[in-house]
Amino acid sequence: MTSTHLSLSLHIVFSTKHRLPCIESTWRSKLHAYIGGAAKREGVVPKIVGGVEDHVHILLEIRATHRLADVMRGIKAASSAWVRRELGVREFGWQDGYGAFSVSPSHRSGVVKYIRNQESRHRRMSFQEEYLKMLMESEVRYDPRYLW
């Protein structure tokens, strides 16, 4: 082939430090918008950002030249600094890790809907239950000692 063609969509999930429920509803949408902007500055395409008080979901499109660990480090560093600086939440931070799940083109719209409905979903299911379900459905192996 004379050029590269790819479709790389990822459903990313990451939690606040110690999974504390500190993302207040009064500024949550501003944080999600800032995360979207931080993702763009990293050169990736955020399709949707959502979440609740203790975690965030992002549907991202990345290029073959991106290194996911670098992209996530940039997004998390920029957004946590913004919360501390602009909102005055001095102790705010993200956990070090994250979940990244590949999304086929035929499932993107379902992931968008899933992310949009986080608040109603978490009336029925905790973040831990949700995340374990995502790991199992994606057949991701993990060591429970290092999960939380």
CATH at 15: 3.30.70.1290
Per residue in 43-77, pLDDT (tens digit) is 999 999 999 999 999 999 999 999 999 999 999 99
Residue 1 located in a structural domain: no
Residue 77 located in a structural domain: yes
- φ and ψ of 81, to 5 deg: -65, -40
Quickly state the pLDDT bin for 89 (edges 50, 70, 90). very high
Per residue in 93-107, pLDDT (tens digit) is 999 999 999 999 999
Nearest to 40 by CA among 61, 23, 68: 61
Residue 2 located in a structural domain: no
Residue 32 located in a structural domain: yes
- How far, in Å, CA of 78 to CA of 37, rounded? 10
Domain ranges, residue 88 = 9-146
Residue 4 located in a structural domain: no
Q: How many domains does the chain have?
A: 1
Residue 58 located in a structural domain: yes
